Amino acid sequence: MDKKTNLRSKKIAQIRGWIQAAATLLTNIHIPNVFKGQIYQGKAKTVCVPGLNCYSCPAATGACPIGAFQAVVGSSKFKFSYYITGFFILLGVLLGRFICGFLCPFGWFQDLLHKIPGKKLSTARLKPLRYLKYIILIVFVILLPMLVTNSIGMGDPFFCKYICPQGVLEGAIPLSLGNAAIRSALGNLFTFKCLILITVVILSILFYRPFCKWICPLGAVYSLFNKVSLLGIQVESSKCVGCNKCAKACKMDVDVRKTPNHMECIRCGACIKACPTDAIHYQFMGKTCPKKDSCNSQQ
């Protein structure tokens, strides 16, 4: 049984790229809209998608949780975004940063960029930068939209407006290509955000997932639940031979044996694939259970 589940964990880790592709497709299902330069505005847009995926993407299925959070917090009608906070806690407790590794379109984008051959740099020495994303979460997502408001209490979505490169990639660029009217509305802010996007793209080729590690406020939210999330990673110490291959394989700079559910772990399964004795595997609700779907039905 153990052998079998460990193999299944390995299999999941191996098909991660396909799962990411499928998740990206599902979060951006309205593909014809890209050519029309129109945004889908139906009922599904009232629901958030798990990953960082711009609401303004013409193909987007749902709303970006970070964007929605800022919009509600910054609105004069609401003081706090209960619905989205609940959504964060729910997904965080169920999956944690598994979402970053498997479901987030922008994570997949960075993974693909990192596959471009060339010199790769380690981020092991840049660990303090990890805390930047919590500052961004608190300042740009929560405090500024809440506090910097006009006379009738409306704030700007500061993270979306001034930082998020996904917004340019998925929102501004396809919309302006498909729509002449929006092209004429582009200005300095667009240029500034394009520079951010280009920087992130270049860094993503050199480093592994720089945006996820240092900037992403959504990753910061999910990381808070990583230690307690129902889906986790387990290391069987009886099987471990201490070869340290897992720690070397980890691109998020986590030592899975010491901290199997570290806040930075995106559950990508690189360690599971690397382990020569199959000592590492996914678990759900404390049970060694590789497939989250089958686990859900077992509950």
Partner 1 sequence: MKAKKVLITLLALGTALSFTACNGGTTEKETAKTESAKTESSKTETTNTETTEADKTETVKADTENTETENTGSDTAQITYEETDTDPSDNTSDSELDNLYQQENQLFADHKDAWDKAFGLMSKSSADSSGNYADFLSDTVESNKDSFTDEQYQTLTDDIETIRKIEEQIAELEKKNAETDTSETKTASDDSSPFNNFSGKDFDGNSVDESLFSKNAVTVVNFWFTGCKPCVAELSKLNELNDAIKSMGGEVVGINTETFDGNEDAIKEAASILESQGAKYRNLSIDSDSDAGKYASNIMAFPTTILVDRNGNIVGDPMLGGIDNQDNYDALMKQIQSVIDADSTEK
Applying CB under 8 A, the residues found at the interface with partner 1 are 37-39, 41, 45-48, 54-56, 63, 67-68, 70-72, 74-90, 92-93, 150-152, 154-157, 160-161, 164, 167-168, 171-172, 175-176, 179-182, 184-190, 193, 225, 227-230, 286
**What is the DSSP-derived secondary structure letter of residue 13?**
H
Cα distance from N-terminal residue to C-terminal residue, the chain: 19
Residue 177 Cβ vs partner 1, minimum distance, rounded to whole Å: 12
Residue 25 Cβ vs partner 1, minimum distance, rounded to whole Å: 22
Identify which of residues 118 and 286 has a Cβ nearer to partner 1 in the complex.
286
Identify which of residues 157 and 269 has a Cβ nearer to partner 1 in the complex.
157
Identify which of residues 75 and 259 has a Cβ nearer to partner 1 in the complex.
75
Phi-psi bin for 253: left (phi > 0), alpha (psi -120 to 50), beta?
A: left
Distance CA(145)–CA(157), nearest Å, equals 6
Distance CA(241)–CA(219), nearest Å, equals 32
Distance CA(286)–CA(284), nearest Å, equals 5
Distance CA(170)–CA(72), nearest Å, equals 21
Residue 295 Cβ vs partner 1, minimum distance, rounded to whole Å: 14
- Selection from 96, 93, 89 nearest residue 265 by Cα: 96
Identify which of residues 156 and 255 has a Cβ nearer to partner 1 in the complex.
156
Residue 41 Cβ vs partner 1, minimum distance, rounded to whole Å: 7
Identify which of residues 105 and 171 has a Cβ nearer to partner 1 in the complex.
171
